[in-house]
Amino acid sequence: MAVIIRWFSAILAVLFGLPTLLGAVFQSLLKGGYDERPVTAIAENFLEGNKEFIDEAKSEYWSAGYARRVLTPEDIDETRYFLGGFLKFPAQEATGIVDDLCVRAVVLDDNSGRGAAAFAWIDGIGFMNADIKDIREKLSDITGDGKLISIDVGSTHAHSAIDTQGLWGNIPRSGRNQNYIDSLTQKAADAIREAYNNRSEGNLYYASKSCPQMFYDGRDPYSIDDKIHFFHFVPNAEGKKEIYIANFGAHPINLGWSNTEISGDFPYYIEKEVVNEKNADFIFIQGAIGGAIHSDMGVQNGIPEDLTSFEKMKEYSNIVADILYELNEKAEKVEPILNVRHAQVDFEINNFVFLLAASADLCNVKAFKENGKIYLTSEIGYVEIGKNIKILEAPGEAMPELVYGGFYSAEEAFTGTEYPYEGIAICFGEDDEVLVFGLCNDAVGYIVPDNDYSSSGAEGHYEETVSTGSKSGTAFSEAFFDLLDVWG
């Protein structure tokens, strides 16, 4: 009976939404109905970061604070929520709860007097820039020079979390539940505020380890950051918890296509292990996952083959936690230097699917028209922690080769052309650690090198379906090279 009801409601959604869908198709084909660039709206709640970078520490200690909030709705049995991540018809409705969805926030301050930076990651498929600006608006009283000069919000990209984008409902109806979005933005703002107010002095440590067996790249050319990056904050004051920060790139999709229950996937279970074993706070920050970078749960990691996918995910989480403990033993102290700078970047929307989603108002995208083309304005960011840790903040699922190199040649690429840029990591030295904070401050889909972009649905080119279009790669590269030319 439940299946029949799902199909019936999905068909009704399509029938009643048919005028909206046809209108969106017509508007997308003609590229009509868009306003000109909304300069004021784009600039609102955009935070540039530090006015000046520093090369030497101004203080002996860092300050850091942490907070988290549970996002799981209490009305899951009475209200329809869609899971975000798998395109299905009828759309996948949540039928229960495996574990909690959360937002976790950490605030770092180098005590230079220039201000602190907040990093908050949400258990969700993606979170749009306009929604993130709502979070910043709620924190405007503690934003500015000497306060919070940067508020970066990202997504873990969990495919078993509630749809926070709107793309995963019964199209042309959005999958976004606005009450849930309102609750999420408030809780995220509350967590960041608490983390800011909870700051205490201490030391920050960093280590990384190459773990090629833990990940695999689902799309050629094979280019991947196979490191697990680990930050560890140790407060000076007794009674204050230590903070574990983990960063690596892997899709949390491990409950599978058929799952109908809410879960935070491996970030939740890594956190659970760290809390139980170390009584420490924990935040997972997603990395460069374009090209379908997945967690590898094969037997080479000691995970029994006969386990269920859920059991394998829990085993994988425990292995990651053990790697963090190992890294903790060799982590080196990081000088309290924090430099942050952001820039806005325009992505041309020439992917018809993305145009259709914007026209049908499925997600909170503020598209506009300029010189006969459709764009959306997003953000990139650059962060320096200490002297040798360089972080690129990507507003979507960036293909790792855009950062680390390894592009297809003209002979290998779909378009038969060379990519006009090198990997962005070329800007840094051999001793620098180059990290990516993915799905940060926006969720513009996959960011694909132009020379291997296909809109034809060719085999091996699924990512283009969820992309702004054929110019996303160059927009990304050009924006970062321009930003790093000044601040890198």
Under the banding of pLDDT at 50, 70 and 90, the label for residue 115 is very high
- The whole-angstrom separation of Cα 140 and Cα 197 is 14
- The whole-angstrom separation of Cα 130 and Cα 345 is 14
Under the banding of pLDDT at 50, 70 and 90, the label for residue 27 is low
Contact at 8 Å (CB) between 165 and 175? Answer: yes
> Which whole number is the average pLDDT over 308-336?
96
- The whole-angstrom separation of Cα 243 and Cα 275 is 10
> Which whole number is the average pLDDT over 69-89?
88
Would the pLDDT of 11 be above 70?
no
Would the pLDDT of 14 be above 70?
no
- The whole-angstrom separation of Cα 364 and Cα 358 is 8
Q: What is the mean pLDDT of the chain?
A: 90
CA proximity to 420, closest of 439, 407, 438, 435: 407
SS3 category, 314: helix
Lowest mean pLDDT among 100-104, 243-247, 300-304, 435-439: 300-304
> Which whole number is the average pLDDT over 183-196?
98
> Which whole number is the average pLDDT over 370-387?
95
In the prediction, which pLDDT does 13 show? 45
In the prediction, which pLDDT does 245 show? 98
In the prediction, which pLDDT does 222 show? 85
pLDDT digits (tens, 9 = 90+) for 123-136: 999 999 999 999 99
> Which whole number is the average pLDDT over 248-268?
91
Would the pLDDT of 355 be above 70?
yes
> Which whole number is the average pLDDT over 13-38?
56
CA proximity to 380, closest of 336, 439, 420: 439
In the prediction, which pLDDT does 235 show? 98
- The whole-angstrom separation of Cα 122 and Cα 137 is 18
Under the banding of pLDDT at 50, 70 and 90, the label for residue 8 is very low
In the prediction, which pLDDT does 428 show? 96
What is the rounded (10 degree) CA torsion for 306, 312, 318, 321? 140
In the prediction, which pLDDT does 29 show? 54
Would the pLDDT of 189 be above 70?
yes
Q: What is the 3-state secondary structure (H, E, C) of 156-211?
A: CCCCCEECCCCCCCCCCCCCCCHHHHHHHHHHHHHHHHHHHHCCEEEEEEEEEEEC
Under the banding of pLDDT at 50, 70 and 90, the label for residue 28 is low
Under the banding of pLDDT at 50, 70 and 90, the label for residue 4 is low
Under the banding of pLDDT at 50, 70 and 90, the label for residue 6 is low
> Which whole number is the average pLDDT over 370-395?
96
CA proximity to 367, closest of 16, 37, 20, 86: 37
In the prediction, which pLDDT does 16 show? 45
> Which whole number is the average pLDDT over 44-50?
96
Under the banding of pLDDT at 50, 70 and 90, the label for residue 432 is very high
**Side-chain-facing half-sphere of 415: CA atoms under 13 Å:** 15
Under the banding of pLDDT at 50, 70 and 90, the label for residue 7 is very low
CA proximity to 448, closest of 432, 436, 460: 460
Would the pLDDT of 30 be above 80?
no
Lowest mean pLDDT among 28-42, 183-197, 307-321, 350-364: 28-42
Q: What is the 3-state secondary structure (H, E, C) of the chain?
A: CHHHHHHHHHHHHHHHCHHHHHHHHHHHHHCCCCCECCHHHHHCCCCCECCCCCCCCCCCCEEEEEEEEECCCCCCCCCCCEEECCCCCCCCECCEECCCCEEEEEEEECCCCCCEEEEEEECCCCCCHHHHHHHHHHCHHHECCCCEEEEEEEECCCCCEECCCCCCCCCCCCCCCHHHHHHHHHHHHHHHHHHHHCCEEEEEEEEEEECHHHEEECCCCCCCCCEEEEEEEEECCCCCCCEEEEEECCECCCCCCCCCEECCCHHHHHHHHHHHHHCCEEEEEECCCCCCEEECCCHHHCCCCCCCHHHHHHHHHHHHHHHHHHHHHHCEEECCCEEEEEEEEEEECCCHHHHHHHHCCCCCCCCEEECCEEEEEEEEEEEEECCCEEEEECCCEECCHHHHCCCCCCCCCCCCCCCCCCCHHHHCCCCCEEEEECCECCCCEEECCHHHCCCCCCCCCHHHHHECCCCHHHHHHHHHHHHHHHHC
Q: Which residue has the higher pLDDT, 153 or 35?
A: 153
Owner of token pair 């000044």: 486
Token pair belonging to 381: 């960011």
Would the pLDDT of 233 be above 90?
yes
> Which whole number is the average pLDDT over 171-199?
94
Would the pLDDT of 293 be above 70?
yes
Under the banding of pLDDT at 50, 70 and 90, the label for residue 86 is confident
In the prediction, which pLDDT does 176 show? 92
Which residues sit opposite 393 in a β-bridge? 381, 437
